[in-house]
A and B are shown apart, each in its own frame.
Chain A
Amino acid sequence: MTVQSCVKGEAKASRWAEFLAGAKATLPLIVGAIPFGIIFGTLAEPSGLSALGALAMSLIVFAGSSQFIALGLMAAGAAVPVIIATTFVVNLRHLLYAANLVPKVRHLPQRWRMLMAFGLTDETFAAVSSRYLGNSDLSHAHWFYLGSMIAMYSNWVLCTALGVGLGELFPDMTQWGLDFAMSVTFIGMVVPYLRNTPMWAAVIVSGTMAMATVGLPHKLGLIVAALCGIATGLSLHMLKQRKTATLEVTL
């Protein structure tokens, strides 16, 4: 075997290893998403979205929370442009996720970035963020991303299909309280971030503001609360930095 083919073989193996690691790192998050996919599928027909429409939405849109909100709006009889505008607002947070990932994807070809953008969900963002935080070799980290998003995507589509089927079998399944699965997953995702005062303050302000703005239309309160939280965290972070800087000057 030549040196070149040996190197190629190694690259292939490490891509596959990254892909599997990405899928594996996303597994705990997928467990939290399973009830969602199923509930989404179950709720579709009662809300006025056909079985085929529910499946197509999961295949094409692939955005859990906005899909749920779309169902709620459909049930309330909202017009199509209102639902699309709400989806835009609710998904604005992905712009912030993307901004966070730009330094890690800017060297990749456009078709890779397109594929990765399609799969930029909360769960994949959380999984790849911890991958990119590590100091290890990042040259094949986009395969880790791909593994994460494909695991997430297949699970989402499969669970939607399952939910559509179950919804026809058990029409009263939405009463089981499975909505708590989302909250508990998100709690497990937030807690590891709470390592310093600015982060605690940001989260407390965001939670409080979310309650204060809960009456705002179109889930706009979410954006307001997030911005207040970020402003608080950022101010405290900068104050802290200034303090250390002054200390250094005095010393």
Chain B
Amino acid sequence: MNEVVLILGMFLVTFSVRYVLFAMAGRVRFPPWLSTGLGFVPPVVLTAIIVPAVLIPQGELWLSWRNPWLLAGLFAALVALVRKDLLTTIVAGMLCFMVLRFGLGF
């Protein structure tokens, strides 16, 4: 019963946020500064998720070259800059992470 309420509630808030602007589509017009600003949203939100995830991988700040999350993250960013291909970046980053963490025991 508790789970039914939880899932329905989560559905309602998630769907409303995603749908409200689509629903009124005809009546909303954004000024140019707002559209430009929104263009920054995806990279900025993703970065705000990534940085704490690699610097605080296990609940504590870990600023060290022995932190495999940080090292593999930097390596993945480098691969992405050079190759510009998402799948290559994911595979290279994951391989680097696995080698550091489980191969070298970082």
Task: Report which A residues bind B (CB closer than 8 A).
Answer: 27-29, 31-32, 49-50, 53, 56-57, 60-63, 65-67, 70, 80-81, 83-85, 87-88, 91-102, 105-106, 110, 113-114, 116-118, 120, 122, 125-126, 129, 177, 179-194, 198-199, 202-203, 206-211, 214, 221-222, 225-226, 229-230, 233-234, 237-238
The reply to whether A99 and B21 contact each other, CB–CB distance below 8 Å, is yes
* A185 / chain B contacts, CB cutoff of 8 Å: 86, 90
B18 to chain A, nearest CB (A): 4
The answer to whether A189 and B18 touch (CB under 8 A), given A83-B6, A183-B53, A184-B94, is: no
- Which B positions have Cβ atoms within 8 angstroms of A? 2-3, 5-15, 17-23, 25-26, 28, 30, 33-57, 68-69, 72-73, 76-77, 80-81, 84, 86-87, 89-90, 93-94, 97-98, 101-102
Give the docked Cα–Cα distance between A88 and B20 (Å): 13
Q: Are A28 and B87 in contact (CB under 8 A)?
A: yes
Asked if B10 and A83 sit within 8 Å, CB to CB, the answer is yes
Contact indicator B10/A234 (Cβ below 8 Å): no
Given that A65-B49, A187-B93, A222-B48 are known contacts, is A199 also in contact with B7, CB under 8 Å in the complex? no
Q: A116-B22, A183-B50 are in contact. Are A91 and B14 (CB under 8 A)?
A: yes
